[in-house]
C-alpha cells in the first residue's frame, strides 16, 4: 500500500465561513475555515476553533484568526512527518494548503485514526492472502495427484507454501522440485531487493565449478530483464536466435530452449524464475508454462504476505513510538514516564528504597523563544534535553511533558540528598552557554523535588508536589532547586488560583486605574499623573499589584493588560485635557512588551504599534505621554529597546528611566538611550533625612541628571523634611503620599479643580 499522506487524513465537518461572519449560537462545529470574499474560492485567512469562540463569543471570525501565526502544511506530506511538525509546533490541528489553495484541516486524531484503519486493512489483506494461499495449495495438490509419477517432486514444491518468509533452503527445494517436475536441465530463482538488484540467486543443475566460472549473478538486462520489467512470461524454442540472450553471464552453460516467468502479485514484481533445456530435448510446452506460473504465483503470495506482515510490524512499531515518546527530543513522554514511575514505586514498596521526582522548567524560555524564533527554540529544547540526559544515571528516566517542562525519575535512591545531588549536577551542566547556529544562548532551569514515600505515595501527587516545589524555586530567584513541603503546596495552590482568575480579569472588566499626582517642586502645581493598575476580583477581593504583576509578567498576560492600560489612561488624560487640564501621563512598560521581537503580522514592533494606536485613537498629544522603563528591561533587550525608543522619541513621546539607582545605573546607557527624565527610587528617598548614604546617592543622581540635562522625579515623598531636602537639590518633580496616594479618576478631578497639590 502507498504511504499515507495528509490529504488522506482530512478532518470531516469543517465549516467554511467568511471573515466578517460571527459564530452562530449552538453551532456544533469544532473547526471553522475562515475566508475573505468567498467561502468557495476566496482567500484563506486562518483556522478558528470552538475554543476560540468560547473564549471570545462576541468576536467575528476575522478577529479570532487575526493575531494567530499562520501555519499550514502541504497535502503531500506523509502523516509521520506531519505529526512530527505538529508536535514541534505544539498544535493539535493545522490547515492543509496546496500552493495557498485551501484543501482542508488535519488533526492529530484524524491521522492516528487513519493509521489505525490502515493497520486494520493490512490485517484484512493478510487474512485474504492466507485464504488465497489455501486455495492455491488445493490447486497444486490437485495437479500433483494428476502427476503420480512425479509425486515426490511435487510434494517438495508444495513445501514452499508452508513458509511465510524467504529462506534459501526453501527456495532451493522449490526450484529443484520445479526443475524435476518439468524435466529441465538448469533452473534458477532470482529474488530482487528493494533497489531492484538481485538479492537471492538460487539455482539447480549447475556444478560448483560452473558456478565459479559464471562468477556473478545474471544482470537481468536481456531476456530476464524483459520478464521483470514487463512482468510477462517468455517461452523460447531456440535461445541462440534471440538477440536478448546477451544478458546471461558469458560462462553460463549453453542453452537452447528457455522458459522464464515473473514472481509477481498485484503488479509488484518480486523476482523471476527461469528454466533451460528439457532433458528429452523437446521445447517447453504451454502446460509447462502454466505450471511454472502457478508455482511463481504461489511463491509471490508467500513473498507478498511476508512483505505485508513486515509493514504491519513497522506500523505497530511507529504507533507504539508515537504513544510513548516525544517526537522533538526522542525522550519518553508522560504516558511512558507514568508507567516507569509506577514500576519504580512498586519496587520501592518491596525494597524499602525511595523514588525521587525532579520537575524541571526552563527559566524565561518564552522570552528566549520569542527572541531567537521557534525553530531555533526547538533546537534549544533538544540541546537542553541532551544535557539533562547526560547528567543522570543509566537507570534513571528523563521525560519531556511538553513545552519546556521535563521530569527526571530517580528509582532506588537511599536518601533524599541523592536527588539533590542530581539536581545540582543538572544545574551545573547548564551553566555553559549553548551554541545554536550564530547564537550563544544562556539558559537556566528551576527544579522542584518530591520523594516517595516521604512526600506522597501516588504518581499524580508526586508530580504535583514536584511541580509546586519548582514554582517555589522560581520565586526564590530561579536557577535553583527546592524540595516540596506542605507550605509550598498551599503556596502553589494560591498561585494557580490567582493565575486562573487573572486570565479572565481583562474580559470581565475587573481592572481599574488609579492616578498618583506628580508635583512641580517649585510651584506646587500638579503637572502630571502616573497611571497605576488596580485589580478587584469578586472572589479574591482587592489583589495587591505585588502579587499579580509578577504572575502577569511570567505568563505573558501583561502584554494585553499593558495595551488596555495605555488605551484607558490616554483616553482619561485626553478627557482632562479637553476639560482644560493639560497633564503629563506616566505609564510603566513591561519587559514582556519589549521581548515581542517576532512580529510577522505587523508592520512595526507590537509595542510601538500599541503606543501609537493608543495616541491615535484617543487624540492625546504624544508630548503628554511619558513611558517609564526600568534599567533591567533596557539591559535585557538593548538593541530592541534602542530601536523602539528611538522610534517613540522621533514621534514626540517622552521617556523616563524608572527606579534609577536600583539596577545597573550604567552611564553609557544614559548617554546611548534617548531618555528625558530619571526617577529616583523611593528606597533612597525614604531615609534621605537620616541616612548619609542615601543623601549622597540622591544628591549624586540629581547632580548627574542636571549635568546631562535630564529632568529628575523623586518617588515616595512622605514628609515635609524629605520635600525640603529635595527642593534644596533643585529636584524637578516629586510624588508620594505627602501629596496624595494613587486616586481614582473622579477624585483626581477634584484635585485638578483646586489647581494645586493638597
Strand, coil or helix: 603: coil
- Asked if residue 114 is part of any domain, the answer here is no
Most confident range (mean pLDDT) of 93-97, 276-280, 732-736 is 732-736
Q: Around Cβ 160, how many Cβ atoms within 10 Å?
A: 21
If asked whether residues 435 and 355 sit together in one domain, one would say yes
* Distance between CA atoms of residues 191 and 171, nearest Å: 10
Q: Identify which has the larger pLDDT, 120 or 161.
A: 120
Q: Which residue has the higher pLDDT, 72 or 141?
A: 72
Range of the domain at 266: 147-311
**Highest-scoring range by mean pLDDT, 315-324, 434-443, 672-681:** 672-681
Give the residue, 279 or 303, on which the prediction is more confident: 279
Asked if residue 509 belongs to a domain, the reply is no
Clarify whether residues 598 and 730 are in a common domain.
yes
Looking at the fold, whether 302 and 154 belong to one and the same domain comes out as yes
Q: Determine the pLDDT at residue 90.
A: 83
- Side-chain-side CA neighbours of residue 256 (13 Å): 11
Terminus-to-terminus CA distance in the chain, angstroms?
A: 84
Helix axes 374-389, 365-372, angle to 10 degrees: 130
Q: Report the CATH number that the domain containing residue 283 is assigned in CATH.
A: 3.30.450.40
* Final residue of a structural domain among 48, 80, 108: 108
Q: What percent of the chain has pLDDT over 70?
A: 86
Q: Do 711 and 573 belong together in one domain?
A: yes
Q: What is the pLDDT of residue 513?
A: 97
- Please give the backbone phi and psi of residue 559, each rounded to the nearest 5 degrees, phi first: -65, -55
pLDDT of residue 505: 94
Q: How far apart are CA 447 and CA 733, in angstroms?
A: 45
Phi and psi at residue 49, in whole multiples of 5°? Answer: -115, 165
Average pLDDT on 166-170 reads 61
Percent of the chain with pLDDT over 90: 34
CA distance 603 to 609: 8
Going through 481-608 in order, the beta strands assigned E by DSSP cover 481-483, 511-520, 526-537, 541-543, 584-588
Examine the pLDDT at 598 and tell me if it is beyond 60: no
Question: Is 255 within 8 Å of 249 (Cβ atoms)?
Answer: no
Q: Cell digits for 56? A: 471570545
Count Cβ atoms within 10 A of the Cβ of residue 707 and give its class: 0-12 exposed, 13-18 middle, 19 or more buried: exposed
- Name the pLDDT band for 601 (thresholds 50, 70, 90): very low
Mean pLDDT of the chain: 84
- Measured between alpha carbons, how far is 56 from 318 in angstroms, rounded to an integer? 38
Per-residue pLDDT tens over the stretch 219-248:
556 677 778 788 888 888 887 777 666 556
Query: Of 450, 484, 518, which marks where a domain is finished?
Result: 484
Instruction: Verify that 580 and 729 share a domain, yes or no.
Output: yes
Indicate whether 15 belongs to any domain: yes
* Closest-CA residue to 112 (of 347, 318, 380, 402): 318
Query: Is 152 domain-assigned?
Result: yes
Tens of pLDDT along 500-531? 899 999 999 999 999 999 999 999 999 999 99
| Cell 500500500, residue located | 1
214 or 386, higher pLDDT: 386
Q: Strand 405-413 to strand 354-362: parallel, antiparallel, or no bridges (unpaired)?
A: antiparallel
pLDDT digits (tens, 9 = 90+) for 325-342: 888 999 999 999 999 999
354 and 458, same domain (yes or no): yes
CATH value at residue 708: 3.20.20.450
Q: What is the pLDDT of residue 487?
A: 67
Q: DSSP label at 612?
A: H
- The pLDDT score that the predictor gives to residue 744 is 96
Residue 376 sits in a domain whose CATH number is 3.30.70.270
Which candidate, 610, 597, 678, places its Cα nearest to that of 643? 597
Q: Are residues 91 and 151 in the same domain?
A: no
113: its cell numbers: 485514526
Cβ contact 95:105 at 8 Å: yes
- Residue 600: per-residue pLDDT: 45
Among 168, 146, 141, 145, residue whose Cα is nearest residue 157: 141
- Rounded average pLDDT over 162-174: 61
Higher pLDDT, 686 or 202: 686
Same domain, yes or no: 398 and 456: yes
Q: Using one digit for the tens of pLDDT, what is the confidence trace for 127-150? A: 888 888 887 777 666 555 545 544
Residue 719: predicted pLDDT: 93
What's the pLDDT band for 163 if we cut at 50, 70, 90? very low
Examine residue 682 and state whether it is found in any structural domain, yes or no.
Answer: yes
Instruction: Name residues whose C-beta falls within 8 Å of residue 576's C-beta, 6 or more positions apart in sequence.
Output: 582, 583, 748, 749, 752
Residue 548 forms part of a structural domain: no
65: domain CATH number?
Answer: 3.10.580.10
Question: What's the pLDDT score for residue 297?
Answer: 80
pLDDT at position 164? 42
Q: Are 369 and 463 in a shared domain?
A: yes
Distance from C-alpha of 389 to C-alpha of 384, rounded to nearest angstrom: 9
Q: Which residues contact 729 (CB under 8 A, 6 or more apart)?
A: 698, 699, 702, 703
pLDDT given at position 465? 92
Whole-structure pTM value: 0.49
- What is the separation of C-alpha 95 from the centre of its chain, rounded to a whole number of angstroms? 16
- Residues 244-274: pLDDT tens digits? 665 566 667 777 888 989 888 777 888 888 8
Do 360 and 468 reside in the same domain of the chain? Answer: yes
Tell whether 18 and 153 lie within a shared domain.
no
Mean pLDDT of all residues in 160-183? 68
Is there a cis peptide before residue 453, judged by omega within 30 degrees of 0? Answer: yes
At 169 the pLDDT is 66
**Does the structure show a pLDDT above 60 at 561?**
yes
In a domain, 136, yes or no: no
Helix (H, G, I), strand (E, B) or coil at 95: strand
CA distance 113 to 537: 44
Residue-level pLDDT at 53? 85
For residue 280, what is its C-alpha cell? 528429452
Cα 499–Cα 501–Cα 504 angle in degrees, nearest 5: 110
List, for residues 281-324, the tens digit of each pLDDT value: 888 888 888 888 888 887 777 776 666 776 777 767 777 777 78
Q: What is the distance between the alpha carbons of residues 449 and 447, in angstroms, rounded to a whole number?
A: 7
Q: Which of 447, 307, 347, 331 is nearest to 389 (CA)?
A: 331
User: pLDDT tens digit string along 623-649?
Assistant: 999 999 987 777 766 777 888 889 999
| 93 and 10 fall within a common domain | yes
3-state helix, strand, coil in the chain (%, to 5): 50, 20, 30
Give the chain's domain count. 4
160's grid cell: 514452499
Question: Is the Cα torsion angle 293, 294, 300, 304 positive or negative in sign?
Answer: positive
Q: Is residue 357 part of a domain?
A: yes
Mean pLDDT of 386-394: 93
Are 655 and 674 within 8 A, CB to CB? yes
Q: How far apart are CA 600 and CA 67, in angstroms?
A: 10
Amino acid at each position: 500500500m502507498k504511504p499515507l499522506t495528509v490529504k488522506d487524513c482530512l478532518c470531516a465537518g469543517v465549516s467554511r465561513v467568511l471573515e466578517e461572519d460571527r459564530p452562530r449560537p449552538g453551532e456544533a462545529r469544532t473547526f471553522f475555515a475562515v475566508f475573505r470574499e468567498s467561502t468557495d474560492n476566496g482567500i484563506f485567512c486562518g483556522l478558528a476553533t470552538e475554543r476560540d469562540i468560547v473564549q471570545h463569543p462576541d468576536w467575528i471570525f476575522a478577529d479570532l484568526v487575526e493575531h494567530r501565526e499562520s501555519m499550514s502544511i502541504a497535502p503531500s506530506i506523509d502523516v509521520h512527518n506531519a505529526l512530527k511538525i505538529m508536535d514541534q509546533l505544539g498544535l493539535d490541528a493545522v490547515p492543509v494548503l496546496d500552493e495557498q489553495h485551501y484543501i482542508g484541516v488535519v488533526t492529530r486524531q484524524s491521522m492516528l485514526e487513519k493509521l489505525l484503519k490502515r493497520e486494520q486493512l493490512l490485517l484484512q489483506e493478510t487474512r485474504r492472502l492466507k485464504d488465497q494461499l489455501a486455495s492455491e495449495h488445493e490447486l497444486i495438490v490437485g495437479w500433483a495427484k494428476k502427476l503420480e509419477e512425479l509425486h515426490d517432486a511435487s510434494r517438495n514444491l508444495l513445501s514452499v507454501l508452508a513458509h511465510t518468509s524467504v529462506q534459501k533452503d526453501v527456495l532451493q527445494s522449490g526450484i529443484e522440485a520445479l526443475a524435476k517436475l518439468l524435466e529441465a536441465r538448469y533452473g534458477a530463482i532470482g529474488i530482487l531487493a528493494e533497489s531492484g538488484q538481485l538479492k537471492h540467486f538460487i539455482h539447480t543443475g549447475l556444478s560448483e565449478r560452473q558456478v565459479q566460472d559464471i562468477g556473478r549473478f545474471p544482470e537481468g538486462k536481456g531476456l530476464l530483464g524483459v520478464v521483470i520489467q514487463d512482468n510477462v512470461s517468455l517461452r523460447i524454442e531456440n535461445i541462440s536466435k534471440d538477440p536478448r540472450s546477451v544478458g546471461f553471464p558469458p560462462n553460463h552453460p549453453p542453452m537452447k530452449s528457455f522458459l522464464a516467468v515473473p514472481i509477481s502479485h498485484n503488479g509488484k514484481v518480486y523476482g523471476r524464475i527461469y528454466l533451460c533445456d528439457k532433458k528429452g530435448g523437446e521445447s517447453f510446452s504451454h502446460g509447462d508454462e502454466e505450471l511454472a506460473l502457478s508455482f511463481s504465483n504461489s511463491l509471490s503470495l508467500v513473498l507478498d504476505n511476508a512483505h505485508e506482515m513486515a509493514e504491519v510490524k513497522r506500523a505497530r512499531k511507529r504507533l507504539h513510538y508515537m504513544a510513548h515518546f516525544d517526537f522533538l527530543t526522542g525522550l519518553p513522554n508522560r504516558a511512558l514516564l507514568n508507567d516507569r514511575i509506577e514500576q519504580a514505586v512498586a519496587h520501592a514498596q518491596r525494597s524499602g528504597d525511595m523514588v525521587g521526582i525532579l520537575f524541571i522548567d526552563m527559566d524565561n524560555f518564552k522570552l528566549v523563544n520569542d527572541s531567537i524564533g521557534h525553530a531555533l527554540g526547538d533546537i534549544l529544547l533538544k540541546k537542553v534535553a541532551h544535557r539533562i540526559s547526560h547528567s543522570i544515571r543509566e537507570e534513571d528516566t528523563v521525560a519531556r511533558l511538553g513545552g519546556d517542562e521535563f521530569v527526571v525519575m530517580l528509582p532506588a535512591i537511599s536518601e533524599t540528598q541523592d536527588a539533590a545531588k542530581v539536581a545540582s549536577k543538572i544545574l551545573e551542566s547548564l551553566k555553559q552557554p549553548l551554541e545554536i547556529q550564530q547564537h550563544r544562548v544562556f539558559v537556566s532551569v528551576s527544579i522542584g523535588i518530591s520523594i516517595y514515600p516521604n512526600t506522597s505515595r501516588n504518581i499524580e501527587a508526586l508530580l504535583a508536589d514536584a511541580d509546586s516545589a519548582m514554582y517555589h524555586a522560581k520565586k526564590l530567584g530561579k536557577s535553583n532547586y527546592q524540595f516540596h513541603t506542605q507550605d509550598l503546596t498551599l503556596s502553589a495552590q494560591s498561585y494557580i488560583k490567582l493565575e486562573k482568575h487573572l486570565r479572565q480579569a481583562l474580559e470581565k472588566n475587573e481592572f481599574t486605574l488609579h492616578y498618583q499626582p506628580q508635583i512641580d517642586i517649585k510651584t506646587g502645581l500638579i503637572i502630571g499623573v502616573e497611571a497605576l493598575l488596580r485589580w478587584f476580583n469578586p472572589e479574591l477581593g482587592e489583589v495587591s499589584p505585588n502579587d499579580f504583576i509578577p504572575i502577569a509578567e511570567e505568563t505573558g498576560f501583561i502584554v494585553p493588560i499593558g495595551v488596555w492600560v495605555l488605551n484607558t489612561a490616554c483616553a482619561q488624560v485626553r478627557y482632562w485635557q479637553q476639560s482644560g487640564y493639560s497633564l503629563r501621563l506616566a505609564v510603566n512598560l513591561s519587559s514582556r512588551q519589549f521581548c515581542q521581537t517576532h512580529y510577522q503580522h505587523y508592520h512595526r514592533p507590537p509595542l510601538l504599534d500599541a503606543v501609537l494606536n493608543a495616541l491615535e485613537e484617543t487624540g492625546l498629544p504624544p508630548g503628554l505621554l511619558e513611558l517609564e522603563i526600568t534599567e533591567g528591561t533596557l539591559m535585557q533587550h538593548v538593541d530592541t529597546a534602542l530601536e523602539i525608543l528611538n522610534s517613540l522619541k522621533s514621534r514626540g513621546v517622552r521617556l523616563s528611566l524608572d527606579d534609577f539607582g536600583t539596577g545597573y545605573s550604567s552611564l553609557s546607557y544614559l548617554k546611548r538611550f534617548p531618555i528625558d527624565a530619571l526617577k529616583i527610587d523611593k528606597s533612597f528617598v525614604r531615609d534621605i533625612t537620616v541616612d548619609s548614604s542615601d543623601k549622597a546617592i540622591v544628591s549624586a543622581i540629581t547632580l548627574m541628571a542636571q549635568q546631562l540635562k535630564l529632568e529628575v522625579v523623586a518617588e515616595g515623598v512622605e514628609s515635609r523634611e524629605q520635600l525640603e531636602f529635595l527642593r534644596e537639590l533643585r529636584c524637578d518633580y516629586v510624588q508620594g503620599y505627602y501629596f496624595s496616594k494613587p486616586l481614582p479618576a473622579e477624585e483626581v478631578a477634584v484635585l485638578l479643580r483646586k489647581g494645586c497639590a493638597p
